[in-house]
Structure 1
């Protein structure tokens, strides 16, 4: 077999390099830079601090502060602090920074109150519990809000240490590649969607097999109980938002609501009536193929939280957190 001349090999390499460079620049110009995650031994991943990027190609960018959370810098002291936990629903996947319900609630409450959006895309209830216990002592929030959807309950931690180590190694390698190449992330996404594979951050399937909601909740209820026990010591409550609205799947969501509301204590304030707003599926979601809350749905969530605060006379743990700016959402 005749060998290719060195000159031809070099020309081929130059051509491939030029092609990849043009493709990389085209993706960066068209979509911008995707958000970067860091490896965490307990949480599995977290957002890299001090960055601006989009969570997925074609979606609006998100600003990540120096604490690794979405939104403006945390600037204590404030009269009142509100901590928001959750996954991509609370993070604001697919909406602008100022359209997320934590940002809207922050605007509703005014300058004397700070709302911290500590939601991280892809997190399950076990990760939200770990993050809460990690940041609660320093932030010392007066109110904690957790938006819980059915996806939180099917995301479970590894029970096998070797599987966990393999998973973390996989994330580490992807992080090193993705740090310099938006093209690699773009190709990975296209393969995922075309073949149903997972080359992204959850590729090693930490998600448990589907079970009925009662079983899922029974296995993870203790995470909520741990959080409320910590809050109860300081005479604080957890505002638990049950989402998505029943318009998504009436039977499954009804079981989801009933299972949770019938099995928790009195240290929780439920917001479980978002479906009463009668939003259509088109109004509630960012697109026909992506069921993350739309900007309109985020407005609804922020308004309902505000109304619950209003019913409590904006008093938490003996502290008054009345709004200082106007206008406020309409109360019911």
Structure 2
């Protein structure tokens, strides 16, 4: 994968411009269309939300040092975009690095991932513990309430890293200050009501899209999970991450993050080079491939069965142990 790893500064600037300009255009269009009719405004809100996801992917690549040749450029562009995506860059980058270092390792869960219990762990919970887990994994929470809470509220404090020194605090508080400055200027320019009518739907929809993408990238039936003694990084990367085979316009909008197995295999590859790897190595297209319709079947999968080595639903677990689930 070495030939694909080199950042391209010109291409990076082009990708940023090709995202920021249409994002700002869609935002202004949504604001202009709200007084005409809310349904017309949604025609601009959805593209703006998708472009916010693409901004997050650019920030994500900055965190991996794969956008620019300069680390300084990666970090400061990532921090600036973090204000737009409501994500404190330095704080997030650390937790995301832990995710890459432990993805697919059953003994190192809990770092930048979706909480996933094994069947045995779930059975060992109290009745209230099972209820909390079932609520957490409910689609309304997982793809609706949860993403909005994560980006709007939880990212305002370095949750989970409050005792890790000044960096998480500086990252979150500086991002909060940037958000307050930009939001304050927009509210001053167009008014509080108009701002909320545009920005809140964009953030909520964009957050839900982002969490959905992350979900299907790791929460599919034949994902790869192993205990530490059997865990191997490359195997976990290729088989523990999916290839979300979306139509090309959606692949562009989501920054090719659906080619997730290759990304986990080598996180230093810029997102705009991932499609070329699939062309050069077509055998990768068959590993962990999910179409959009196939991905919908991932929603009920909630528990890892260590015996069959696959994710199963609460319903399947109930059929096995009806008295316990």
TM over 0.5: no
Determine which structure has the larger strand proportion and give its number.
1
Task: Please say which structure displays the higher CA radius of gyration.
Answer: 1
- Give me the TM-score of the superposition, normalised by structure 1: 0.25
Normalised TM-score (structure 2): 0.25
